[in-house]
Structures are given as C-alpha cells and as structure tokens.
Amino acid sequence: MKSQLNQILANYLNADKYTNYLTLEDIPQFKQFFCEYLQEQRHITNDNVDESFRRWCKQLSSGRAHHEIRKYAVYGLWYRCELKQYHIAKLLGVSTRTIRRDMRELESQLFH
C-alpha cells in the first residue's frame, strides 16, 4: 500500500512540476520565454535583460502590470509552462476569474 501512495505522489509532483516555484523568476521556461519577448518586442539589450526581467516580474507578481503584458505572461505560463489557472493567478497576484478572462481572450485571438 505504501508503494502505491508513493507512486501516486510521484506522478502528481511530476505532472505539476512548477507548483513548487514561489516566484516567476524561479521558472526557467518562463524566464526564457519572457526574456525573448523583452529583447524582440521591447528592444531590451542583452546587458539589461536580466534587470528588466526582474522589474517586470515584480510588476506582474504584484498584479500591477498592464493588461496586455499580463496576458502575454498568462500565455507563457499557460501554454509554455502548462500551469493551471489557480497557480497562474497566485504567481501574478490576481484572481482566478481574471486569469479565466485572459485565457478566453487569448483563445479567441489565437483560434478565431
């Protein structure tokens, strides 16, 4: 019985591998995704990208980021990192209702 519980726990932790991260900065896939955005869309140089990424993460985590930037972060966390709504909401400092709304907007933009 104990080995079955260990197997269930191991599968759960593997399926939700990013839930142990406390901040956006701690998620390597998100950092890579968002830094590429900063360099391509915001024209941030390689020398300044780490500092800019930290500043944006603070704004995003506090729930104060502009709607379009938050939606881009939701896209990265949802599609690239495969996080669930509740975890994205916790990382971005907003309600799950806000995240659901952002996801609906993203789906309509991407698939219609």
Q: Is the pLDDT of residue 20 over 70?
A: no
> What is the span of the domain harbouring residue 50?
18-111
Contact 55, 33 (CB under 8 A): no
Q: What pLDDT shows up at residue 97?
A: 96
Q: Is residue 11 part of a domain?
A: no
Instruction: Please tell me the pTM assigned to this model.
Output: 0.80
CB of 27 closer than 8 Å to CB of 18: yes
Asked if residue 74 belongs to a domain, the reply is: yes
In a domain, 8, yes or no: no
What is the rounded distance in angstroms from the CA atom of residue 104 to the CA atom of residue 62? 22
Residue 64: inside a domain: yes
pLDDT tens track for 71-108: 999 999 999 999 999 999 999 999 999 999 999 999 99
Does a structural domain hold residue 56? Answer: yes
Percent of the chain surpassing pLDDT 90: 76
Is 49 within the bounds of a domain? yes
State how many domains the chain has: 1
